[in-house]
Structure 1
Amino acid sequence: MKQTVEPVLQDKFERRFLYLRLSITDVCNFKCNYCLPDGYRPNGTKNSSFLQLDEIQRVVSAFAHCGTNKVRITGGEPSLRKDFTEIIASVAQTQGIEKVATTTNGYRMAEHVAQWRDAGLTHINVSVDSLDANQFNAITGQDRFKQVMSGIDRAFEVGFKQVKVNTVLMKDLNDYSLPQFLDWIKHRPIQLRFIELMQTGEMDDLFARHHVSGVSIRNRLIAQGWLLKSRQANDGPAQVYYHPDYLGEIGLIMPYEKGFCTSCNRLRVSAMGKLHLCLFGEGGLDLRHLLTNDDDQPALIEFIQQQLETKKVSHFLDQGNSGATPHLASIGG
């Protein structure tokens, strides 16, 4: 009897892709100075051109058929979609998907996070770049600090065992706040993820002024007794550290460190239905024509597998080349 060989998503460097970052909108209502300092600017298309629910189902199903077991729903700000809860439910109900995560600015969490959890959301990341309300406003362009903090508290109330908090540390803006952040997580089950500021096409000047090396932060943590945790197959890119005296954890995302791309296990699909092999690649590959009906799945899988043959061994950020990415909101970070 002939055995059926299940398709896999693997590149020529033998990296398996178990993790899909799926953007559902590039719209955001915040104006973070390292991403959208002038606010969201439409790119000439209407919101109706974002992936619709049936297309999202087909994308996720195809990836799951190839062994992907984790999906992160991103934006822009994904909760701006009126059908966000339906999207969560659709992804969670896909056979083979074990983890359904989202990254949000947190402004709707207090009101809606219970619905998201009931729909099947298993993991949540919230962007918080300062624990000072005034500085939070200065970085994000929104006076919503208390609202976001209430949302994090509410997430724990409805049953999330851990909340991940994303923080971009920037020289002369918030890098001096490291001790305050550490105090915050001492008795809270928060994984605080320090994300190294990344150069993108529209942010060259800001990067030059405010970039802080993630290695310097890691050295400070190790000197204080923080220890490296082992990595799981579908984890994101963070190096996670724990400390026996802390309930919380620290995650470091350091894209400029040598070997950062060696463990790459994630692919991206933009809200416009384009496959991105790398956050800092040279543009997306259109999948939309392969999402019109369920019968397209074999062709969709074959197309993705073919494109993986062209995936490069690494990005070229260390050479000052950020590819075609204008800002992180454009393809979901």
Structure 2
Amino acid sequence: MAQFEDSFQRKFYYLRLSLTDVCNFKCTYCLPDGYKTEDKRPQFLSLPEIQRVVTAFANCGTSKVRLTGGEPSLRRDFSDIIHLVSSTPGIDKVAMTTNGFRLEKSAFEWRQAGLTNINVSVDSLDPRMFHQITGENKFRQVMRGIEQALAVGFSQIKVNVVLLKGLNDRQLPAFLNWIRDLPIQLRFIELMQTGEMDHFFHRHHVSGQSVYQQLQQDGWIPKVRACHDGPAKVLTHPDYQGEIGFIMPYEKDFCTSCNRLRVSAKGKLHLCLFGESGIELRDLLQHDDQQSALIERIQYGLGEKAVSHFLHDGDSGMTPHLASIGG
């Protein structure tokens, strides 16, 4: 079948699949008051529904699936989901983004199930600041989880750090020291404006560009981007085992290389992290014989994908917070 492609000739190799919008952390930039729902029991995608949507994407050129949340490991069937996705013909990378609270206990099990890549959110190496940002006193537990993941054979861990002015923006030396002898790709992510976080954004947003330029002056070298990589601009250094990536959504032409689509935990296709209300897919995930109609709806939706987000205009669309569609 034809590769998923939009009207700007961007091809989509990468699916971010949210499994739940529930999270057990209360990060200041995402869910400062914790997870709340109006539904008594939210109906997230079932295993058969997940299999059908992943199969459709795989049949149209997607080779990488990232399992996100909320916190995806809160799903009791998380290992089964990993196995299902990793067993889908055409999928060669199965990644997850996690807050790391369950990593120490489950890293080996997840690797055995077929997980290939892990991103862990660690917004500070200071336990007190970590607690302040995440709302949870679990820094040492998360760090043990990263150590365990490396020990059971994950060749590189990516660590996400949301840059926050006045909170963690002066901790670069500590982060650099940490990755000198560890195979960790540290990823600095610029704070993004969302509907519920306007005041926080204006108070704490800081650009990653100055840090990026400083590191280049210090001998860090840009790394070539692979087709299924995310939007990070990655730097390497001969004296460091680790790498440093920057995700800067306010940078000019950030969306030019977009290669991912998102499906929410309730079965909506999102063409962008910001913007539209989503395209309903769930009615076409109920039976195996609806694959052609599912693929046709996704491809039709791609015709509506905009050339860029509108964050530069202060427009975060209908996204209330990042946990709502999987970040």
Q: TM-score, normalised by structure 1?
A: 0.97
Q: Which moved more, 1:280-289 or 1:246-255?
A: 280-289
Which of 298, 304, 307 in structure 2 is aligned with 1:310?
304
Which residue in the other structure is 2:149 paired with? Answer: 155
The aligned counterpart of 2:258 is: 264
2:74 is matched with: 80
Shift of 1:283: 1.0
Deviation at 1:225, TM superposition (A): 1.0
| SS of equivalent to 1:36 | coil
1:203 maps onto 2:221 in alignment: no
Q: Which residue of 2 aligns with 1:29?
A: 24
**Structure 1 stretch displaced more, 139-148 or 37-46:** 37-46
How far 1:259 sits from its partner (Å)?
A: 0.2
- Residue 63 of structure 1: aligned partner: 57
SS at match of 1:167: strand
- Per the TM alignment, residue 7 of structure 1 is displaced from its structure 2 partner at its CA by 2.1
Deviations 1:222-254 (A, max 9, x none): 121111000100000101100111000001000
Letter aligned with residue 232 of structure 2: A
Which of 175, 178, 182 is the matching residue for 1:181? 175
| Residue of structure 2 in register with 1:3 after alignment | none
Q: Counterparts of 1:281 and 1:59 in 2: how far apart (Å)?
A: 22
1:44, CA displacement in angstroms? 2.7
1:243 aligns with 2:231: no
| Equivalent in 34, 48, 53 of residue 39 of structure 1 | 34
The one-letter code of the counterpart of 1:204 is D
Match of 1:226? 220
Which of 7, 12, 27 is residue 7 of structure 2 equivalent to? 12
Structure-2 separation of matches of 1:79 and 1:283: 26
Identity, % of aligned positions = 65
CA distance in 1, matches of 2:245, 2:79: 27
Amino acid at match of 2:287: N
**d(CA) in 2 for partners of 1:13 and 1:169?**
31
Q: Which amino acid aligns with 1:125?
A: N
Q: Deviations over 1:96-136 (max 9, x none)?
A: 00100000000000000100000000000000000011110
Question: TM-score, normalization: structure 2?
Answer: 0.99
CA distance in 1, matches of 2:57, 2:276: 22
Write the deviation string for residues 23-48 of structure 1: whole angstroms up to 9, x where unpaired: 0000000000000000001143623x
Q: For 1:322 and 1:165, how far apart are their aligned partners in 2?
A: 25
Query: How far apart are 1:319 and its partner, in Å?
Result: 0.6
Distance (Å, rounded) in 1 between the aligned partners of 2:274 and 2:209: 21
- Deviation (angstroms), 1:186: 0.6
CA distance in 1, matches of 2:118, 2:79: 14
Partners of 2:254 and 2:168 lie apart in 1 by 24
Is residue 146 of structure 1 aligned with residue 140 of structure 2?
A: yes
Q: Secondary structure at the match of 1:160?
A: coil
Moved more, 220-229 or 184-193: 220-229
Q: Runs in 1 of length 4+ with deviation above 2 angstroms? A: none
Task: Give me the CA root mean square deviation.
Answer: 0.7
- In structure 2, stretches of 5+ residues that fail to align are none
Alignment of 1:209-220 (within 5 A): 209-220=203-214
Residue 161 of structure 2 is matched in structure 1 by 167
- 1:285 is aligned, of 279, 287, 298, to 279
Structure 2: how far apart are the matches of 1:296 and 1:172?
A: 51
Among candidates 43, 48, 51, match of residue 54 of structure 1: 48
The aligned length equals 327
CA distance in 2, matches of 1:79, 1:10: 31
